[in-house]
Structure 1
Amino acid sequence: MIIVMIRTIILYFLVVLTMRIMGKRQIGQLQPFELVIAIMISELASLPMQDTRIPLIHGIIPIITLLVLEIILSVLQLKSEKARSILCGKPTILINNGKIDYYALKNQRINMNDLLEELRLKSFFNINDIEFAILETSGQLSIIPKTPLNPTTKKDLNIQSSQEVLPVTLILDGKINYESLNLINKDYNWLVNELKKQSIDSPKDAFIAILDSNQKFYCQKYIRIKEEQS
């Protein structure tokens, strides 16, 4: 009995340490490869607890191996957009410009009842109020409402406003997304000029550059916040 308790305590703290190293995401925010690793770790930890005939090391080594694999995959998808697309997939637009994309629903195997339920959980009860609904890679649904009907009550105050659009990522980790540039009908020279306005000489020096939902250009250099404050 004491041996079982000791093995359980060791495996418990090992799993807690492993999940702590993996990060602070909630279960619903895990990417597919992270969720698979989390499930496998829980299964590997439970086997040596239940069966004392299994050497404890046979549970510890696979857990550490999965932890190393998760770290490698996380770094890989952080550095490479192509790897991120393979491992995590891409967001899917389910409602585009106020219109439901039937084929996007079909590809994601989501029926209308599921979509309407998710909208209600986000406190949207009318499809006419929604401009964009985006299924994120984590499975969460992001919603951009039609501007006159959003919580800022611009319609109530009779404030003239233009419809917001989807933000477009132009640079990530110093790498230019030419597909996004073509999407907004801009070229490399325009991007470089916008960066220079923000005192960034080269796209490689930009950590991120985005054309936001209000068509405003936002960018940030590679810099540590603590260094900037000091």
Structure 2
Amino acid sequence: MYFLIIIKTIILYILVIIIYRLNGKKEINQLNVIDLIIFFLIIQLITISIWTNQSIFISFISIIILIMFQLLFEYITYKNNKIKQFIDGKPIIIIKDGQLNFKEMVKSNYHLEDIIKELNEQGIKRIEDIKLATIDKGKLLIQEMNNEYPMPIILNGYIDYFSLKKIKKDINWINNILDENNLRLDEIFYAFYTKQKTFIIKKD
């Protein structure tokens, strides 16, 4: 019995590693809500398979079905930015032009000590030196006053209205760029704005 448990454990462990490597997920902070649900369901299936007489083949098929569902859902969110924002959530602004947004800090359960620690790790001494700080997928992203980072404005044919608002532009500005380049929105894979210039990468 114990020998069978060991064999099942090794086989299922190798299987899960292979599946997640093929899936491209390398770090826990890259996982969204759906990924975590699938992850815990797989753990449950593995546990049942190891400690019961259930065939390892049944567990294998069940895990494959879950992974296929996950890949399908990722494809849907890749194609639909609204669904992606619903699953991943919108970035939360907690610092703007050197001013803390305490309301958003409370809503996101992010404490001042966390911000100060993150600033120290990035070598930033004062909150007043921050132009913009957002929380995206649990990570604090910081833009300093004197640094300008590329802002994504179009992702796979969908407008990033969050970034558009940041750079103080609107849909008419996007339409003008499309007209100037003789492009449709669905022909653009990635477009970003930096240093008063717009850069476009077209789909193949």
Aligned to 2:197: 216
Aligned mates of 1:180, 1:115 — CA distance in 2: 22
**1:144 aligns to 2:136 (yes or no):** no
Aligned mates of 2:20, 2:169 — CA distance in 1: 43
8 A contact 2:97–2:128 mirrored in 1: no
Q: Cα RMSD (Å) of the superposition?
A: 2.6
State how many pairs are aligned. Answer: 202
Computing the radius of gyration from Cα coordinates, the structure with the larger value is 1
8 A contact 1:29–1:140 mirrored in 2: no
**Deviation, structure 1 residue 40:** 2.8
Aligned to 2:186: 204
Deviations 1:57-80 (A, max 9, x none): 443233222212211111111000
With structure 2 as the length reference, what TM-score do the two structures score? 0.83
**Deviation, structure 1 residue 144:** 0.6
Aligned to 1:161: none
Aligned-pair identity in percent equals 29
Structure 1: 5+ residue stretches without partners? 151-163, 224-230
Q: 1:75 to 1:94 in 2, by over 3 A?
A: same
Deviations 1:102-148 (A, max 9, x none): 111011011212222232233323212221111112x111111120x
For 1:1-230, list aligned pairs within 5 A.
1-49=2-50, 51-137=51-137, 139-147=138-146, 164=148, 167=151, 169=153, 171-176=154-159, 184-188=168-172, 190-195=173-178, 197=180, 199-212=181-194, 214-223=195-204
Structure 2: 5+ residue stretches without partners? none
Q: 1:176 to 1:142 in 2, by over 3 A?
A: closer
With structure 1 as the length reference, what TM-score do the two structures score? 0.75
Aligned mates of 2:22, 2:15 — CA distance in 1: 11
